[in-house]
Amino acid sequence: MGEASAGTDGMPKEGTESSNVVTFGRQGGCYVTKGVAALLAILFLSALVATGVLVYYFVPQVRETRHDNLSSAPTTNAKDTPESSPIIGTTSVAPLREPPVAIVATAATPVASSTTTVAPKERPNVRLPRALKPLHYVIKLQPFVNGNSSIVGYVEVEMEVLEATSNITLHIDSILTKNETVKVSSKDQHPGERTVAVTSHAYDPERQFYVAGLAQPLQPGKNYILSMEFVAHLNDHLNGFFKLSYRDVAGIERWAAMTIFQATAARRAFPCFDEPGLKATFEIYLAREENMSSISNMPIMESLPVEGQKGWMWDHYYTSVPMSTYLVAFVVSDFTHVNSTAIDHVLYRVWAREEAIGQANYSLEIGPEMLVFYEYYFGIPFPLPKLDSIAVPESIGGMENWGLITYGESLLLYEEGVSAAANKQRVGFFLSHELAHQWFGNLVTPRWWSDLWLNEGFASFMEYLALDHAEPTWKVMEQFVVMDLQNVFTPDGLESSHPISIPVEHPDDIKQIFDRITYGKGASIIRMMYHFLTEATFRKGLRNYLIALQFNNAEQDDLWKFLTAAAHEDQTLPLDITVKMVMDTWTLQMGYPVIKVVRDQAGTTASVTQEHFLLARKGNQSKSRQSPLRWWVPLTYTDQDNANFGYTQARLWMSDSQTHLNMSFFPSRDQWVIFNVQQSGYYRVNYDDHNWNLLILQLLADHTPIHALNRAQIIDDAFNLARAGQLSYDVALRVNAYLRKETEYVPWAAALTSLDYLDNMLRRSPGYGHLKNFMRDLLVPLYDSVGFVDNLDDPHLEQLKRVKALSWACKLHYKDCVDNSVLLYSQWMLDQTNHSIISPNLRTTVYCTAIAAGGQKEWDFAWGQLLASTVRSQREKLLDGLGCTKRIWILSQYLEKAFDEESGISKREALRAFTSVAKNDMGRHLAWDFLRSHCNRIRKRYSSGSTLGRFINVATKSLNTPLELKELHKFLADNKVNLEPASRAVDRALETVTNNVDWLGTNHGLIVEWLQRQGYSDSSFP
């Protein structure tokens, strides 16, 4: 992406002005005298009064679609905002003067103030000047949740002056400021000398800057306070300060309002210094109706009536610890809560709507346990007096706001006997992840979004440690290999990947890096470091880092410094190697290596090389890179004679300057060797054909001497090396022959993910019957071992394994699985209130299979169940199942319903519905056509470029013909502007489809021929 030319402080310079002074030239327009302005104000006020409520609904749209000026606040509706503003004259707040007459700029109305309009610039630098440092905010908000969605607000921000400056620059977005109320005063002067005159107000829409021009420069070393009144809006974008609705058991629509400010949306709720490195303390006041409650980061200090507004209360919160703006949070709702008594020094509560609070017990049980684990692990007590977790009835993720974590309901609520084992595990992971953020991200925060991975990568790894502590029988540390490491290998094996530490400036770029690379790769390389440093050293370094930098900001080099000190002290890393030397090669460049191990004829020595691994065949690799990528690789290995799968420290380091190593001390030629013990390193391994054959023979004879994680590694590496053209499919497919005897969950999960690519690519080819019978042959023994009948008392991993087995058996049309699914679904249709007929674990498979085998009647029944259900996890399963029908006209109707605001499917649920159609053989082209036809509609509906990117990835993932590739090129060319916020997803989709086309042309015939030689026909299978 383009970067604006900038000075050393990161701000564009104009003329000879100081880089800490933002200046805008006058861009034309009509400018009038104050007398004329007053007349215009009176005339315009009359128009506003005449339009009443309509204006209030329109005003926020003006700010979002036009960035003409910073105007005074609009005239308010008497029903929702009384003449005596709630921010003025309350018992707990010193009275403020009455706001001035409002002027709202429209297309036909000239700006009647000193506000200056600014023409947007192409991709400017959006970093704030560094002349000012925020210290403390006072924020007072009255959101009209049950009214017209307006927010009447007031903000004070105390600032320390670091360099002399003649203006104050803050972030705002979709806010109308009352310019006449903007005041700047010095804390350090006598009362009569405090005011600094504000001479101008300007708004830069591209950078989302509000700039107050001052009559005199602010003096370095002194503190000043800027205050202003403003009007904002509760949006419906699930970002910023937004409102959402739900229906109670009586069917009555109810409303709530909440915040998600990450990464750059706090500026939509109040003017602020909206960058993670600019921490401050926050004193928050929220006005709410008496029948509702509010929660924020800190406990409520007092609640007092809003003067002049019957039925309204002010909640005044204790001042927060220093934190970044994106972590500020508040919720206004009529939800209820339950308290935990497990921790004596932290008030731990879980909130949900009244009808769902009974599903909060599991979260209330393991949340405090994991919080205490983190306190012990990091050696730092949780720094706030309370921690709230709230489940909201929307399809949102988790957000780690300090002291107030928000979740979508399916991520926090679990009901025994109703929710599936996978739902329970998901709740555990999300709880653990967001709790980890209370230290990693909140206590110590990245200085800028380029190091977002310090937040997300560490939380994505630490979540496994804490959940393993809470649920040790789940073996989540083993599940890491298939859930994160192998999962992220695929996108990171593309030329369109990116480093996990990446320069970003514009908000659109920041949103795009909340992706699998940041989360999954970040977690995987931290896990690698955890192993090569050892757990004790890793933990010591983390503790020292967090203690030294608590309440401050950091960059990755700060962490490397503390980890290196711990490693050298513990002698777990050679003194001539630093963590920075090693980890910079993994964070500052994309991709990962494949380590090739080729043993000599005797087998006792080997040549070891590293090479950048790409999923595309070598002939398709980019020639643009000047030098090949190399890494510091911690080599671990074991062998058949002295198998030791417990030692995961590096036995040998391959540096980023080495492409080749000669190693000895291997066993004789008839004994296998395995590199990357427990797949602890973030790299693939390839061997010579002889060693591959030794591994295959061992797996077939007795697979148990090889650790389950290395069995999963061997499967995943073999399939992906073959996909990349670095290993024959003969080897990769022979590796899987042992699976008929495999009983462990993790190797099976790795195998089914690898087989899924073959299934997806060949499903529409004439040779698919051969592949289907091969996969059935592998799966039937697993299916028979777990059985179709589910048992919720089985061990957790046994339940997960049964779900995998049944899902694939039904997908491959195995008759016993299909018949059982259809039978259970028909029984449910006859007794639709009996939700115990289908086990929670089997619902996704049963719904999909029965709806695929059925017709309109089965689909309509599921649709009715969806509309009636308020349980988020159940809705997700029904949304998945509805996309499984083989009736094309029903799929087409489903897509239309998914994007109909009145259908009963929410905006966020529409993506899930779209995905279920795209995964269906009969629906993949419908989804692709829908995206092409409605790209602009989807772009407008979703404010996030990352969400648009998910639509693109889902719709294009299975495309694999030259015609489809041509269609993709045309689609990208025709929608270049709409797709710009999702540029990374676009690049990934184009590379993926190009690779699919090339792969199919190269491998289809080879794979079918191999299957035929093994005796797999294309005939039907029971």
Annotated catalytic residues are: 434
Query: How far, in Å, CA of 60 to CA of 833, rounded?
Result: 44
For residue 933, give every residue at least 6 positions away whose Cβ sits within 8 Å of its Cβ, in sequence order, or none: none
Residue by residue, DSSP assigns 161-217 as: ESS-EEEEEEE-SS-EE-GGG-EEEESSS-GGG-EE-EEEEEEETTTTEEEEEEEEE
Identify any residues that bridge with 159 across adjacent strands, giving them in sequence order. Answer: 134, 224
The values of phi and psi at residue 382, to 5°, are -55, 125
Q: Is the dihedral of CA 274, 275, 278, 280 positive or negative?
A: positive
Fill in the DSSP letter of residue 399.
Answer: B
Element (H, E) at 999: helix 983-1013
The values of phi and psi at residue 440, to 5°, are -90, 95
Element (H, E) at 155: strand 150-161
Which of 531, 399, 992, 560 minimizes the C-alpha distance to 523? 531
- Describe the strand order of the beta sheet including 593-599 as a list of residue ranges: 660-663, 606-612, 593-599, 684-687
**Cβ 105 vs Cβ 48: under 8 Å:** no
Distance of CA 999 to the CA centre of its chain: 30
Query: How far, in Å, CA of 657 to CA of 636, rounded?
Result: 19
Fill in the DSSP letter of residue 173.
Answer: S
Residue by residue, DSSP assigns 96-129 as: -PPP-------TT----SS-EE----SS---PPP
Which of 69, 71, 74 minimizes the C-alpha distance to 56? 74
Query: How far, in Å, CA of 551 to CA of 383, rounded?
Result: 10
Cis peptide bond upstream of 263, omega within 30: yes
The values of phi and psi at residue 78, to 5°, are -60, -30
Query: How far, in Å, CA of 369 to CA of 987, rounded?
Result: 43
Which of 183, 166, 170, 171 minimizes the C-alpha distance to 100? 183
Query: How far, in Å, CA of 986 to CA of 950, rounded?
Result: 10
Q: How many other CB atoms are found less than 10 A from the CB of residue 660?
A: 10
Structure tokens at 16: 């000879």
The values of phi and psi at residue 363, to 5°, are -60, -40
Query: How far, in Å, CA of 948 to CA of 978, rounded?
Result: 9
Structure tokens at 45: 């006020």
Which of 82, 144, 487 minimizes the C-alpha distance to 287? 144
Q: State the pairing for strand pair 386-392/347-352.
A: parallel
Between helix 556-570 and helix 452-470 the angle, nearest 10°, is 50
Helix, strand and coil content of the chain, in percent to the nearest 5, comes to 45, 20, 40
For 15, left (φ over 0), alpha (ψ -120 to 50), or beta? left
The values of phi and psi at residue 190, to 5°, are -70, 155
Element (H, E) at 171: strand 165-171
Structure tokens at 267: 């500026």
Between helix 872-882 and helix 907-918 the angle, nearest 10°, is 40
**3-class DSSP assignment, residue 462:** helix
